[in-house]
Chain A
Amino acid sequence: QQIQEDLNKQLLDNLVSFLRRSHSEFQGKTTEWTCRMKSREIPTAALVLGVNVTDHDLTFRNLSEALQNNVTPYIALLEAKDCPGIKNLMQKLMGQLMNCSTDVVSLEDEDYVQVSQNRIRCSMKSLVDWYDSVTKKTDSETLSKKRTSSSKHQQSPPVVVIFKDMESFTTKVLQDFIVISSQHIHELPLVLIFGIATSPMIIHSLLPHSVSSLLCIELFQSLSCKEHLSTIIDKLLLTSRFPFKLGEKVLQVLINIFLYHDFSVWNFIKGFQLCIVEHFYSEPLSVLCCQLADAKKRVNSLSHDQCENIRRLPSFRSIILNFGNAFKVTMVTVHVQDQETTQKLLEDLHVYHENYVSVLRCLHVFTCSLPKYPLGKQIRELHCACLENRVWETEDYESSLQLARMLNKSDLETMLQQCVEILVSSSGNKFDKAVEKLKEFLTQFQKLEAEAFQEQDVSVSSQKELQKKTDLYHLQKTLLELKDSRRSKKLTKFEMLRFEVVDYIDSLVRNYLVPADHKTLHEIVYFNTASVLRGHLNAAPRIALHTALNNPYSYLKNQALKSDGRSISNKAPDICIVYKLHLECGRLINLVDWLEAFSTVVTAVEGPNADAASSDQVDDIIHARFIRAVSELELLGFIKPSKQKTDHVARLTWGGC
Chain B
Amino acid sequence: PAKKNKENKMSNLVEEYFEAHSSSKVLTSDRTLQKLRRRRLSQQTLHDLLKKAPLAYAAEIKELNQLHESLFSKWLLQLHLGFNIVLYGLGSKRDLLEKFRTSLLQDSVHLVVNGYFPSITVRSILNSITEEVLDHIGTFRSPLDQLDFITERFKEDSSLELYVLIHNLDSQMLRGERTQQILAQLSSLPSIYLIASVDHINAPLMWDQAKLSLYNWLWYETTTFSPYVEETSYENSLLVQQSGSLALSSLTHVLRSLTLNARGIFRLLAQYQLENKDNPSYPGLSFQDFYQQCREAFLVNSDLTLRAQLTEFRDHKLIRTKRGADGVEYLLIPVDDSTLTDFLEKEDEDV
Contacts and interface: CB of A to CB of B under 8 A. Distances in A.
- Whether chains A and B associate is yes
Interface in A615-657: 619-621, 623-628, 630-632, 634-638, 641, 644-649, 651, 653-657
Given A548-B223, A625-B50, A630-B239, A635 B232 contact: yes
Given A541-B89, A589-B28, A635-B231, A557 B203 contact: no
B218 A274 contact: yes
Interface stretch (B53-61, B127-135, B255-263, B267-275): B53-61
* Of A590, A626, A656, most B-chain CB atoms within 10 Å: A590
Contact of B21 (A545, A590, A654): A654
Contacts of B304: none
Contacts of B49: 620-621, 623-624
A372 interface: no
B31 A593 contact: yes
A273 B90 CA distance: 29
Q: Chain A contact residues (Cβ within 8 angstroms of B): what range?
A: 35 or more
What 8 A-B pairs are tightest by C-beta distance, nearest first? A539-B219, A655-B16, A54-B213, A624-B49, A548-B90, A556-B60, A541-B88, A631-B237
Contact of B89 (A548, A645, A653): A548
B79 to A, nearest CB: 11
Nearest to B38: A623
B238 A630 contact: yes
Contacts of B312: none
Contacts of A81: 181
B201 A655 contact: no
A201 interface: no
B52 interface: yes
Specify the main secondary structure of chain A where it touches its partner: helix
Given A556-B64, A593-B28, A646-B32, A634 B20 contact: no
B221 A539 contact: yes
A549 interface: yes
B29 interface: yes
A538 B209 CA distance: 13
Given A8-B81, A558-B57, A646-B34, 13 more contacts: A1-B77, A274-B218, A535-B220, A535-B221, A541-B89, A544-B89, A548-B89, A585-B28, A588-B26, A624-B53, A631-B240, A635-B231, A655-B20
Interface stretch (A40-48, A261-269, A336-344, A373-381): A261-269
30 contacts: A52-B209, A53-B209, A53-B213, A273-B81, A277-B78, A537-B218, A542-B201, A544-B88, A544-B223, A548-B89, A556-B60, A556-B61, A585-B28, A586-B27, A586-B28, A591-B239, A592-B31, A593-B31, A619-B38, A627-B237, A631-B239, A632-B232, A634-B235, A635-B231, A637-B200, A645-B28, A647-B33, A648-B28, A654-B17, A655-B12
Size bracket of the B interface: 35 or more
Contacts of A589: 28
Interface in A38-65: 52-54
Nearest to A554: B223
B174 to A, nearest CB: 14
Contacts of A54: 209-210, 212-213
Interface string A52-95: 11100000000000000000000000000110000000000000
B64 A555 contact: yes
A281 interface: yes
Interface in B1-50: 12-13, 16-17, 19-21, 26-29, 31-36, 38, 41, 45-46, 49-50
Contacts of B213: 53-54, 264, 266-267
Contacts of A36: none
Interface of B: 12-13, 16-17, 19-21, 26-29, 31-36, 38, 41, 45-46, 49-50, 52-53, 56-57, 60-61, 63-64, 74, 77-78, 81, 83, 88-91, 144, 181, 198-204, 209-210, 212-213, 216, 218-221, 223, 225, 227-228, 231-232, 235, 237-240
Contact of B216 (A52, A270, A654): A270
Contacts of A8: 81
A635 B172 CA distance: 10
A631 B235 contact: yes
Given A645-B26, A654-B17, A655-B12, A621 B181 contact: no
Contacts of A437: none
B120 to A, nearest CB: 16
A216 to B, nearest CB: 30
A587 interface: yes
A208 interface: no
A647 to B, nearest CB: 5
A502 to B, nearest CB: 35
B295 to A, nearest CB: 36
Contact of A541 (B61, B74, B83, B203): B203
Contacts of B220: 535-536
A573 interface: yes
A651 B21 CA distance: 10
Contact of A651 (B20, B204, B219, B223): B20
Interface string A579-607: 00000011111111101000000000000
Contacts of B53: 621, 624-625
Contacts of B61: 556
Contacts of A557: 60, 63
Contacts of B46: 624, 627-628
Contacts of B13: 654-655, 657
Contact of B56 (A573, A588, A651): A573
Give the residue among B56, B60, B78, B220 with the most A Cβ atoms within 10 A: B56
A158 interface: no
Given A274-B218, A556-B57, A630-B237, A590 B29 contact: yes
A552 interface: yes
Contacts, number: 198
Contacts of B77: 1, 277, 281
Nearest to A560: B57
Given A54-B209, A592-B33, A587 B64 contact: no
A635 B201 CA distance: 9
Nearest to A556: B60
A537 B83 CA distance: 11
Nearest to A646: B32
Contacts of B181: 81
Interface in A367-415: none
Nearest to B83: A274
Contact of B20 (A264, A575, A587): A587
Contacts of A592: 29, 31-33, 35-36
A281 B74 CA distance: 8
A12 to B, nearest CB: 10
A350 B235 CA distance: 60
A81 B17 CA distance: 36
Nearest to A657: B13
A645 B19 CA distance: 20
A652 B77 CA distance: 38
A635 B219 contact: no
A545 B202 CA distance: 11
Interface string A518-546: 00000000000000000111110110110
A142 B266 CA distance: 68
A513 to B, nearest CB: 30
Nearest to B91: A548
Contact of A586 (B20, B38, B240): B20
Contacts of B231: 635
Contacts of B204: 541
Nearest to A273: B81
A438 to B, nearest CB: 43
A545 B225 CA distance: 10
